[in-house]
């Protein structure tokens, strides 16, 4: 597994990371803990050094899983986690909270759950309109000065928010959705990241599984799978969006690869400072995804795939309305 380095921060990670959310939350029943630990350690054995979690995943249980799995190899890996939500007594999301005092409380709790003395990358999970981003950046700057955090990140933040935060505490990475069927970051976000030397961490680089071809209009999502409420995943929209899956599948046949590998290779080919974090609960899918890092697309193949994708109008919003409102523009 090759490594990628982010701008001026010096943080170096494997070119594919592992998004761990789905092991505990969001895509149906949580994995058995011992199976989750085995999968995370299998990723380490295969060269993955970057693991993504958050306190809200579970809530809390995903950090505990990641912490236990990575404790024996802590010096070999980088762990990213996130703050920024209120979490109620039932462990459910209850709005946003990026007050500096709360950020510091979350950091202390996350350190314990992750079984570590430092968080490699600490993201603001969603921008809180009630707290100036300068105060958020200042709180993380304090945590960095105390040695509890190494790097500051943002998630789903807009250009002005990124610039304002970066002026207080350099931002190491931005995490946002990006894939062949969600390319909005290309217009404004990627140029600013390149200018400022900030890395980019695309989540859902496989379109929440859709680009793999494993999801069709007939798929029935399990209880607890949030795709049940995502507009892009209504039966009607899945039927309309199948054209994108077919396109990726055709390219995959030509390359003697899988659709997932082509989709990941396309993301990796966009910029040398992009590190996607596909998630999975299955070892064979992990190995398939890692094959995407080894798949080389030529410049003309990338261009052809991009131009063909541009002709397909993707149907449906990527979040329900309440979640959509939390995205900072």
57 in catalytic set: yes
Long-range contacts of 217-225 (CB under 8 A, 24+ apart): 217/242, 221/28, 222/27, 222/28, 222/29, 223/28, 223/29, 224/26, 224/27, 224/28, 224/29, 225/26, 225/27, 225/28
Between CA 66 and CA 76, with CA 71 as vertex, the angle to 5 degrees is: 95
Using CA atoms, how far apart are residues 252 and 269, in angstroms rounded to an integer?
15
- Taking each helix axis from N to C end, the angle separating 235-255 and 299-310, rounded to the nearest 10 degrees, works out to 160
Nearest one of 55, 57, 68, 70 to 22, comparing CA atoms: 57
Using CA atoms, how far apart are residues 153 and 125, in angstroms rounded to an integer?
9
Helix (H, G, I), strand (E, B) or coil at 259: helix
Q: Which residues are catalytic?
A: 57
């Amino acid at each position: 597994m090759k490594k990628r380095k982010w701008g001026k921060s010096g943080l170096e990670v494997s070119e594919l990371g592992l998004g761990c959310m789905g092991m505990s939350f969001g895509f149906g029943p949580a994995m058995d803990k011992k199976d989750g630990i085995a999968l995370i350690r299998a990723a380490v054995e295969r060269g993955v050094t970057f693991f993504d979690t958050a306190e809200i995943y579970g809530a809390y249980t995903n950090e505990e899983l990641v912490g236990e799995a990575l404790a024996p190899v802590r010096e070999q890996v980088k762990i990213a986690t996130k703050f920024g939500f209120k979490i109620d007594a039932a462990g459910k999301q209850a709005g946003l909270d990026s007050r500096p005092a709360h950020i510091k409380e979350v950091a202390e709790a996350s350190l314990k759950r992750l079984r570590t003395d430092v968080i490699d990358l600490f993201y603001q999970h969603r921008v809180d309109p009630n707290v100036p981003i300068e105060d958020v950046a200042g709180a993380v700057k304090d945590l960095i000065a105390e040695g509890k955090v190494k790097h500051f990140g943002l998630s789903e933040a807009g250009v002005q928010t990124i610039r304002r935060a970066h002026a207080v505490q350099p931002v190491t990475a931005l995490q946002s959705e990006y894939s062949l069927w969600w390319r909005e970051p290309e217009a404004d976000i990627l140029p600013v990241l390149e200018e400022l030397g900030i890395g980019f961490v695309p989540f859902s680089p496989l379109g929440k599984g859709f680009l793999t071809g494993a999801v069709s209009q007939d798929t029935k999502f399990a209880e607890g799978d949030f795709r049940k409420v995502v507009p892009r995943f209504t039966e009607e929209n899945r039927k309309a969006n199948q054209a994108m899956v077919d396109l990726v599948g055709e390219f995959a046949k030509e390359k003697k690869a899988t659709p997932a590998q082509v989709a990941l290779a396309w993301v990796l080919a966009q910029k040398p400072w992009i590190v996607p974090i596909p998630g999975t609960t299955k070892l064979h899918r992990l190995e398939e995804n890692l094959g995407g890092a080894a798949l080389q697309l030529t410049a003309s193949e990338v261009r052809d795939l991009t131009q063909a994708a541009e002709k397909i109008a993707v149907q449906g919003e990527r979040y329900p309305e309440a979640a959509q409102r939390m995205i900072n523009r």
